[in-house]
Amino acid sequence: MGWFTKIRRKFSASATQDVAPAPAEVESPVVADGPAEPSSAPVPDVVPESEPAPDVEPEPQSAPEPVAESVPQPVTGVEPVAPAERTVLDLSGVDSVRVRIVATDVLLGEEERESVDRTEYLVVREPADVDAVSTLAVFDGERKIGYLSPAKADLLVPLLDSMPADAFRIAGDPDVAKPEQFWAFIPRVPALRAHAQSLLADSAAR
């Protein structure tokens, strides 16, 4: 073997040691097309328990207070016409409606109620001053026993003011099924208006 052959073998062996082996090819996994299969691992049926609502007792509600009956308040400082000086006009024959007299429990005691003549009453404007707030008081003779309600007074006062009288006689209801209550018959507004116009016409004709 010549020297050239020895050098060639030595060079080939050295070159083989300096070259790193190529990495082996790794096959990539094949992914099948389509949706992934669900996991077969069991899922525990655990539902979180909600905390029970505390037992709260509702606050007791107080019963509504009864609405007090509207009672007219007389105006002080203005005196009505004295009973002896009153000019009385009879309205008992005018078409009327039955209404309750209010404030009788304030003006009458239990014994006084029994002595009231319930067959007829006098209605008197109180006070007599037309510039003041008007109310209609109800009298049994010369004794005041109550009032007509403010709503009724508002309807009647303008018509009563147009009549030549200071007091007006109306019929009462003698029914004593409830002795603590007093009832009267007051003229209906259309009938009272017609009556006032008739009185005015008679006065103009004289």
Statement: residue 130 has pLDDT above 70: no
CA 125 – CA 98 distance, rounded (Å): 19
| pLDDT given at position 124 | 94
Domain ranges of the chain: 83-205
pTM: 0.59
| pLDDT given at position 72 | 52
Length of the chain: 206
Q: How confident is the model at residue 88 (pLDDT cuts 50, 70, 90)?
A: very high
Q: Are strands 135-140 and 143-147 parallel, antiparallel or unpaired?
A: antiparallel
Architecture category of domain 83-205 in CATH: 2-Layer Sandwich (3.30)
Statement: residue 128 has pLDDT above 80: no
Q: How confident is the model at residue 126 (pLDDT cuts 50, 70, 90)?
A: confident
Higher pLDDT, 178 or 47: 178
Structure token pair of residue 142: 């010369």
| pLDDT given at position 76 | 42
139: CB partners within 8 A, 6+ apart: 83, 121, 122, 123, 124, 145, 167
